[in-house]
Amino acid sequence: MTKTTGCLFIISAPSGAGKTSLVRTLLQSDLDLSLSISHTTRPPRSEEVNGRDYHFVSEETFRQMLAGGEFLENAEVYGNLYGTSQKWINEAMASGQDIMLEIDCQGAKQVHQIFPQSIGIFILPPSADALATRLKTRAQDNAEVIRERLAAAREEVSHISEFDYVIINNKLEDALSDLVCIIKAERLKKERQLAKHHSLITELSVPASR
C-alpha cells in the first residue's frame, strides 16, 4: 500500500455548543485520530491539564513563537491568544495520521487557505435558548462574558457556509454518530482509496497470465 497524507478535520462551533465534549468522546473511540493541541495564553480551567487540553504559555512566549513563524494559524479570542503548531501538523499528516483541529472560524479559514483539502465540520446547538442555558450552567464565566459569547455565537454562525458539514448537537450520542459517519465517509473517498490501495487495485486490474 502507498502511504497517503492524513486527513485534516477542522471542528468549529459557537462557545457552548458542546464541541469540546463531542471531540473528547470521539477521541475515546477506535477511529485512530490525533487531536492537535493548541497553544494559548488563556489561564487553565480547573479540570484542564497542560499538554492534554492546551499548551498553556505566557503571552511573551506566544509572541516569540508567532514571530518565529511556528503557528499554522493564530487568533485572539476574548483577549486570549491561540495558535496551532505548523511543524506538528505537517509531520503528523505526512506520516499518514488523521488530525482533528478544534478551533474557531477565524482559525479554520486560515488553515483552509493552506490546506484546501481539509474537511470543515460545524457544530450547532439545537436552539438559541439551549446555547444560552449551556453557557449559564457551565458556571465558568460571569454575566458579561456570557453576553459576549452569545454575541460572538451569531458571528460564528454567519460563517457556516464555509464548512463542508453541519451537525446539530442536541443529544451527544446522536451528534457523535453523525461525526463518526463523516470521518468514515471521508476516509473512503475514491481519491484516498486509490492512493492507499494502489497495489491491490493494480493487481486486480491486470489480466491473469495463462
- What whole-number distance in Å separates Cα of residue 1 and Cα of residue 96? 12
- What whole-number distance in Å separates Cα of residue 35 and Cα of residue 186? 17
Output the CA torsion 90→94→98→100 (10° steps). Answer: 0
E-strand ranges in the chain read 8-12, 33-35, 39-40, 55-56, 71-77, 80-85, 98-102, 119-124, 165-168
For residue 149, what pLDDT is reported?
A: 78
For residue 142, what pLDDT is reported?
A: 72
Record the pTM.
0.84
Please list the rounded mean pLDDT of every run of 10 residues in the chain (210 residues).
79 88 90 93 91 94 96 89 93 92 90 94 91 73 77 87 96 96 95 89 80
The single-letter code of the amino acid at 54 is: Y
The C-alpha cell that represents 125 in the structure block? 446547538
For residue 1, what pLDDT is reported?
A: 44
For residue 209, what pLDDT is reported?
A: 65
